[in-house]
Amino acid sequence: MPIGGRKVSPTAVEFDLVEVASTISGRTVELPGMWNRMFESRVLTDSGPEGFDVLATLPGAESLEWCYGCGKCEPVCPVNVVSEYGPRKLHRLVQTGGDLIASDELWMCTTCANCLRVCPKEVDMIQTMPAVREEAISRGHVPAELQTVFEATFRQGNALGANPRRRAAWTKDAGVPVRELPKDPSPVDVLFYVEDYWSYHPRGMQAAQAFARVMTALGVDFAILGAEEKTIGDSQRLAGERGLFESLMEDVTATLAKYSFTRIVTPDPHGFNALKKEYPKHGHTYDVLHYTQLLAPLVDRLNFTGRIDAKVTFHDPCYLGRHNGEYDAPRTLLQAIPGVELVEMGRCKANGYCCGGGGGGMWLDGFNSDKIEERLSERRVREAAESGADILAVCCPYEVSRFSDAAKSTGNDQLQVLDIAEMLDTALGSPRTA
């Protein structure tokens, strides 16, 4: 009641446990003290908008605040399938006073864009994650694995830290001539931008060799940059190292300006994405194709002398499919191979599952190991095996090694993981295909 003209709240006396008798039945019910606490102010009222205010100062990160908790993102988030994750949970983290910039959860997103596909508020994690990661890096919050990759890329121009002079080593076993523009700078139709994993990784080199043989069989006039090639840098950008990305872009465009070519073809959906969407923002525009887009219109000209009698399922790379809308070219190539029976996984095309390599995830398997039940690549291999396929076909340099390792770790050794370029090469009867 009022005291001295002011209303005074009553003093609450809380018991750990009380028994209350029903006035109707006479039965007693035990009520613990926590029952009363259900009516207290919830934790949401203990936090203000400060976290979102900080994010709003980071260009691209402001959309996280638009989330209204509908939850549509969570069923389609590939990380949520193997853990507890999703844009709504990140929004809740900030909403309740958590520091996203210093959180390990910042690095778990693969920027696959499946959440953006279904979000009614257009919360854009593809812009938010790189922006917040850039701020985290500036504050010294960066996983050690990523730091190693950034340093290797800065020193050697590639994520593997390999010697640039060995960029073209794969050509020695290609079985066909591969022209290097620094040695023969005459104009060329197709500049084959090999990127890191096809240049240096053993399985990637096999795919690069196969692709060179397929292009030769088609009579395509192509050449590579050899030792002058540096990574296009899109994965580094998505992992938050915008400064490194811009430095790489300066080097790449300066090198490209030295030569005359009609179009750029790359096997890397991430490099393709950067050349198509990011480089033009800085005034660098090229006619760029993913290698499946180059080959699909020419497939009728391939003289197949071999067969691949197998059930084949195809994994859509996020940065070729959802990010850039290309679903048909890879399937056109697979369906043209004699003997192939194409079967689709339940999650495919626009709702395809992520391999876990995007957004810097390629280099964060160790960092994420205690945060998820299984790697995304392992989950995807299980889905491929459940489809009844003999072969999991891919067309991204990250995926052959990721899925091959996952096939072994999940006990699905019977599942072959092959790049589409390798399969085309096999069907052409190449004696050099393993």
Q: Provide, rounded to the nearest whole percent, the portion of the chain with pLDDT above 90.
A: 87
pLDDT given for residue 26 in this prediction: 81
CA 12 to chain centre: 53
- Give the DSSP letter of residue 317: P
Fold of 48-138: Fumarate Reductase Iron-sulfur Protein; Chain B, domain 2 (1.10.1060)
DSSP percent split of the chain into helix, strand, coil, nearest 5: 50, 10, 40
Give the pLDDT band (50/70/90) at residue 43: low
Residue 225 structure tokens: 């940059």
Residue 62 structure tokens: 């402001």
Mean of per-residue pLDDT scores for the chain:
93
Task: For 184, list phi and psi in degrees, rounded to 5.
Answer: -140, 90
Q: How far is CA 382 from CA 50, 317, 379, in A?
A: 42, 17, 5
Nearest 5°: CA angle at 215, between 219 and 213?
115
Render 380-434 in DSSP notation, one character per residue: HHHHHHHTT-SEEEE-SHHHHHHHHHHHHHTT-TTSEEEEHHHHHHHHTT-TT--
pLDDT given for residue 31 in this prediction: 74
Residue type, 127: Q
Q: Is the pLDDT of residue 41 over 70?
A: no
Same fold, 48-138 and 299-427: no
pLDDT given for residue 4 in this prediction: 57
Residue type, 405: D
Q: What is the three-state SS of 340-361? A: EEECCCCCCHHHCCCCCCHHHH
pLDDT given for residue 30 in this prediction: 79
Total number of residues shown for the chain: 434
Q: Is the pLDDT of residue 36 over 70?
A: no
Q: Of 24-33, 98-107, 317-326, 393-402, which range is least confident?
A: 24-33
Give the C-alpha separation, 66 to 68, whole Å. Answer: 6
For the chain, give every domain's residue range.
2-37, 48-138, 157-296, 299-427
29 DSSP β-pair partners: 20
Give the pLDDT band (50/70/90) at residue 430: confident
Read off the pLDDT of residues 136-157 as tens digits, 9 standing for 90 and up: 999 999 999 999 999 999 999 9
Give the C-alpha separation, 62 to 77, whole Å. Answer: 20
Task: Find the DSSP H helices in 242-322.
Answer: 242-256, 269-273, 291-295
Give every CB contact of residue 74 below 8 A, 6+ residues apart in sequence.
Answer: 80, 85, 86, 88, 89
Give the pLDDT band (50/70/90) at residue 65: very high
Give the pLDDT band (50/70/90) at residue 433: very low
CATH of domain 299-427: 3.40.50.10700
pLDDT given for residue 29 in this prediction: 78
Q: Is the pLDDT of residue 434 over 50?
A: no
Pair 423, 352: CB distance under 8 Å: no
Residue 215 structure tokens: 């292009």
Read off the pLDDT of residues 341-363 as tens digits, 9 standing for 90 and up: 999 999 999 999 999 999 999 99
Give the pLDDT band (50/70/90) at residue 40: low
Q: Is the pLDDT of residue 38 over 90?
A: no
Q: Say how many C-beta atoms besides its own lie within 10 A of residue 335's C-beta.
A: 13
What is the mean pLDDT of the segment spanning 270-299?
Answer: 98
pLDDT given for residue 47 in this prediction: 74
Q: Is the pLDDT of residue 56 over 90?
A: yes
What is the mean pLDDT of the segment spanning 407-426?
Answer: 97
- Specify burial of residue 165 (Cβ count, 10 A radius: 0-12, 13-18, 19+): exposed
In angstroms, how far apart are the furthest CA atoms of the chain? Answer: 100
Give the pLDDT band (50/70/90) at residue 2: low
pLDDT given for residue 6 in this prediction: 65
The candidate with the shortest Cα–Cα distance to 191, out of 127, 110, 267, 249, is 267
Give the C-alpha separation, 231 to 103, whole Å. Answer: 28
Read off the pLDDT of residues 241-250 as tens digits, 9 standing for 90 and up: 999 999 999 9
Residue 19 structure tokens: 């028994």
Residue 265: its H or E element: strand 261-266
Q: Is the pLDDT of residue 222 over 60?
A: yes
Residue type, 389: A
